[in-house]
């Protein structure tokens, strides 16, 4: 029986290797902005993901070099590079998941909203390509300001009659990753054992960590609550200032993007119980978009969870978040409608 088991095991392994090579059950993933600070480590980590069979790297600069480099990694995914807008269609055709970290990052003294003028146009162009070439793909939108770029993407898809709100996800995973890290530090726990829901949006006061709902259950003093909330809301600025003009978070963002993309791929594969925070079309509040915990499945967002019981501090934070979010959402919508 031991021999049989071993044989069974090794033939399973062979089959899996074959399937990975043959492209099934692996998924086809495109990264738009793949040569950037986030794009490069993100491409490397996605090349290491066993659920990926084909990886398309698109940018307006430098993709030949990044692609040649990444393609030498001895993992299953086949890598192809695409350079410039005339190759956008080929980069997108047939994709199951499109991850977008294209656009300029912040410099010290800038808010995410200061990036609007440049990044809004980039996101519009890329989303027009998605509606033409892979309208059924799940989209993970990283480009800032996420609070406005997600509404922009939705408007582009609506204009093209391809809008499926379940497939459009603004990536707020880095806020969750930071929250887990900072909360674990205060509690003296391993960050892998901590889960902090972060709701609202992805900028300043719109980033609302729900410290009353941290797992494992715990409590914080008022001072700890204020310190943690402020550090989580300003985590991005902490990195922007430390990099002193050389950009914003790229390595932790690539990690967070892969964590989120991997959850999407597991959901696409049919795994049950995949739950993450994301900025999505939502009825959790009166706003048309809101970040909260969502359950992912084969069709993208399959369930959006309510916020749950909030304490007084969080209720006040929620009102502030909603006020700012409303303006950012409106700004994105009117960029396309005007």
Instruction: Quote the least distance from Cβ 146 to ligand NAI, whole Å.
Output: 5
Element (H, E) at 294: strand 289-297
Exposed, middle or buried, 264 (CB in 10 Å: 0-12/13-18/19+)?
Answer: buried
Distance CA 161, CA 237 (A): 37
Give the interface segment with ligand NAI, choosing from 10-18, 120-128, 193-201, 211-219 (CB under 6 A). Answer: 120-128
Q: Which is nearer to ligand NAI, 148 or 250 (CB)?
A: 250
Q: If we measure between CA atoms, which residue out of 203, 250, 209, 226 comes closest to residue 195?
A: 209
Exactly one of 31, 102, 156, 179 binds ligand NAI (CB under 6 A); that residue is 102
Task: DSSP for 19-80, please give it.
Answer: HHHHTSS-EEEEEETTTSTTHHHHHHHHHT-TTEEEEEEEESSSHHHHHHHHHTS-SS-EEE
174 makes contact with ligand NAI (CB under 6 A): yes
153, 145, 142, 149: which is closest to 110 by C-alpha?
145
DSSP 8-state class, residue 215:
B
Residue with tokens 């892979």: 134
Cα distance between the two ends of the chain:
71
| 146 binds ligand NAI, rule: CB under 6 A | yes
333 makes contact with ligand NAI (CB under 6 A): no
Q: Please give the residues from 55 up to 74 whose contact with ligand NAI meets the rule CB under 6 A.
A: 59-61
| Annotated active-site residue in 56, 72, 202, 266 | 202
- Residues numbered 229 to 288 that lie near ligand NAI (CB under 6 A) are 247-250, 253
Nearer of residues 33 and 200 to ligand NAI, judged by Cβ: 33
Q: For residue 72, indicate whether it is catalytic.
A: no
Q: Which of 30, 77, 137, 142 binds ligand NAI (CB under 6 A)?
A: 142
Q: Output 26 or 37, the one with its CB closest to ligand NAI.
A: 37
Which residue number, 148 or 229, has a Cβ lying nearer to ligand NAI? 148
Residues 29-48 within binding reach of ligand NAI (CB under 6 A):
32-33, 35-39
In the complex, minimum distance from the CB of residue 176 to ligand NAI, in angstroms, rounded to a whole number: 10
197-236 residues near ligand NAI, rule: CB under 6 A: 202
Nearest to 276 by CA among 248, 300, 249: 300
Give the binding site for ligand NAI (CB under 6 A). 32-33, 35-39, 59-61, 101-106, 115, 119, 122, 125-126, 142-144, 146, 171, 174, 202, 247-250, 253
């Amino acid at each position: 029986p031991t021999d049989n088991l071993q044989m069974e095991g090794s033939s399973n392994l062979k089959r899996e290797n074959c399937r990975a090579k043959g492209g099934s059950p692996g998924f086809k993933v495109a990264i738009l902005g793949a040569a950037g600070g986030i794009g490069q480590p993100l491409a490397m980590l996605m090349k290491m993901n066993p659920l990926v069979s084909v990886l398309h790297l698109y940018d307006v600069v430098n993709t030949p070099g990044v692609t040649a480099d990444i393609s030498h990694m001895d993992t299953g995914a086949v890598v192809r590079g695409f350079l410039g807008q005339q190759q956008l269609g080929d980069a997108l055709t047939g994709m199951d998941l499109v991850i977008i970290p294209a656009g300029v990052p912040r410099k010290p003294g800038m808010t995410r909203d200061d990036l609007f003028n440049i990044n809004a146009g980039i996101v519009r162009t890329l989303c027009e390509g998605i509606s033409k070439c892979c309208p059924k793909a799940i989209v993970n939108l990283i480009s800032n300001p996420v609070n406005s770029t997600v509404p922009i993407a939705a408007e582009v898809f609506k204009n093209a009659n391809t809008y499926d709100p379940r497939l459009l996800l603004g990536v707020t995973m880095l806020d969750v990753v930071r929250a887990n890290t900072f909360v674990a530090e205060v509690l003296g726990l391993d960050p892998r054992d901590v889960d902090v829901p972060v709701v609202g949006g992805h900028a300043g006061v719109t980033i609302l960590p729900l410290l009353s709902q941290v797992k494992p259950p715990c409590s914080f003093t008022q001072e700890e609550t204020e310190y943690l909330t402020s550090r989580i809301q300003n985590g991005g600025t902490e990195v922007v200032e430390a990099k002193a003009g050389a950009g914003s978070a790229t390595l932790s963002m690539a990690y967070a993007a892969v964590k989120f993309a991997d959850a999407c791929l597991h959901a696409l594969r049919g795994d049950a119980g995949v739950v993450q925070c994301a900025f999505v079309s939502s009825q959790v509040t009166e706003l048309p978009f809101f970040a909260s915990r969502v359950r992912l499945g084969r069709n993208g967002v399959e369930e959006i969870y309510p916020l749950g019981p909030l304490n007084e501090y969080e209720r006040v934070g929620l009102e502030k978040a909603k006020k700012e979010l409303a303006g950012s959402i409106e700004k994105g919508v009117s960029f396309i409608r005007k």
